[in-house]
Structure 1
């Protein structure tokens, strides 16, 4: 599971900082999460192939999370994209994008599909045989969702030594991967535990930005491997965080502790602060495993 931070600062882009966008690579999927200004430039800098992005998840319609989307959609067209593109986001996102495409007479040459969200409850928005994606209802100034990405349990792995020792025919391989015992031609029954290793434990990633401190999200993110939680402010501006419906670094860490997550990644920093290390220092008072997102940084989990 690989996370690339394209942008992780609040409000407006600056010379060296970019608004929210990130790429999650999980089970051969390349998911784009939020799409602030300059997302496509950051994608190029990170050497992420545009053609691999087939699903984009937008948390809410504030500009620092969505203003880069029309540019990316248009660039896909200029690059002669043919693969379908699916966009998941709050109701209204289709109108925002298609209005600009219509007025500029720039309709896409590829299939553009919108999956508009308006439920206040968690819902499954994407699922295939490898990954499940659910919304996480967040509390912000406008309708907002986080997203929970969960790997499904994979197949077992063949034990190559056992395959050779017992001279297992190839036609048995898939049944072994599926967890079945097999019977050889001479009637010998071989237990699956002799022939295969258990699959890697499935991993999970929760993206929570933007939101006021809200313990009601804890059940949705219980025990996840990695939690990205916004930390717009430090505790010295807790009152401002509440007023603007954002969180402090310490509040983000408290949520991580209550949910029993394995790793916390902080982001969505206000640019009023001189050093982002201050966010980690504050969070460590509540939770021991804290990483700081920064533009262009990559994490492998």
Structure 2
């Protein structure tokens, strides 16, 4: 039966600022990669490496090369590239606030910088449907931190993480999609069957083969092994494909903060997070990049 959504509400507040350290890698999802590929195909910059991600320094180098051919760029392209250059070029300034701290020395040949960012983000959405069983609401409350900086002109580092308190219930469309039996288990003999000894899936399969795949005969001899099924779940709080989780792996449900409360999805209120770190150096005019 076709279901229609009547309304969806989304709110988000983000506190963040960005000063990219030049030797750190730029996320491959950044729109700048598509722009560089387009300009490279038009011969506006040198051939870029095939391996991604690129360092911020390598991207800025390519952007500067492209802007040297401004007579072959549209007004929109020049605006986008100049804005990127302005936003991501290193700035000689000191910043001290509750959410953003940036310190650096004034030694040109051996620069050192330290930067700290703190962010808060809240988002939520809900839908009203013709079938009330689909009515759901979910939210994310995220705190994030980011430590990064430079150690000389050649080495940059970053440590970032987030903590997500969230509830994102899913509508269960079904739980009986059959994908086979537990082949790795040995099953005890079941009541009211001919077999009195433990058996496995292979014994059951042999009984099917010997009786022209007559399931009733195999069930009478052994009993059906444990079935493996897949649950089909749908997020009806957000428009289709609009929700992307930011936490990694599993999460703890607040109703059970123990090992048994570790779940893959927050059907009830849960907490999780993620931590990423990088240290990277670029040498020989960005021809060699080494990172961990």
TM exceeds 0.5? no
Structure 2 length as normaliser, TM-score? 0.29
Larger Rg: 2
Higher relative contact order (CA 8 A, sep 6+): 2
Structure 1 length as normaliser, TM-score? 0.29
Instruction: Give the structure with the higher percent helix.
Output: 1
Instruction: Give the structure with the higher percent strand.
Output: 2
